[in-house]
Amino acid sequence: MAKILLIDDDPDFVDIHTAFLEKNGYEVISAYDGKQGFQKAKVEKPDLIVLDVMMTDRTEGFYTARQLRGDEDTKSIPLILLTAIHQEEKAFHFAPDEVWLPVDVFLDKPVRPERLLEEIKRRLKKE
């Protein structure tokens, strides 16, 4: 059973997606900020991480993504970045980038659980 780490400060998002992913055969662990998420990633060794951008500050997820990619223990874990920043900052656009945004894919929030599941399956299949 693949293990998914959800890092998001919205407990409702975490609860809904945890229930959905568990129903679809995944083990889910959660963290509510980047610092806790990074620590859990090192200890729990998840198969994939779903990371929100805007948590304790508007760019915490970007920093956490770079931290995860810069650490020997977590650098190869597939990473899905979720963001609602496009809704708040219409002119702010970005794409995955090896240096500034080292993630496998990013999805706009709100994301349907089925869409997230599709991306999780796609990323885990690459391993």
* Mean residue pLDDT across the chain: 86
pLDDT category at 101 given cuts 50, 70, 90 is low
On the question of pLDDT at 80 being above 50, the answer is yes
Q: How far is CA 110 from the centre of its chain?
A: 13
34-44 helix and 60-70 helix, angle to the nearest 10 degrees: 30
Find the length of the chain. Answer: 127
Answer CATH for 3-125 from 3.30.420.40, 3.40.50.2300, 3.40.50.1970, 3.40.50.720: 3.40.50.2300
The reported pLDDT for the residue numbered 104 is 81
Q: Burial of 49 by CB count in 10 Å (0-12 exposed, 13-18 middle, 19+ buried)?
A: buried
Contact 21/52 with Cβ under 8 angstroms?
Answer: no
Strand order from edge to edge, sheet including 105-108: 27-31, 3-7, 48-52, 79-83, 105-108
pLDDT category at 109 given cuts 50, 70, 90 is confident
Strand partners, 27: 3
Helix (H, G, I), strand (E, B) or coil at 5: strand
| Average pLDDT estimate for 105-121 | 90
pLDDT tens sequence across 38-50: 999 999 999 999 9
| Average pLDDT estimate for 1-11 | 95
pLDDT tens sequence across 85-97: 544 444 444 555 5
The reported pLDDT for the residue numbered 59 is 82
Domain boundaries, the chain: 3-125
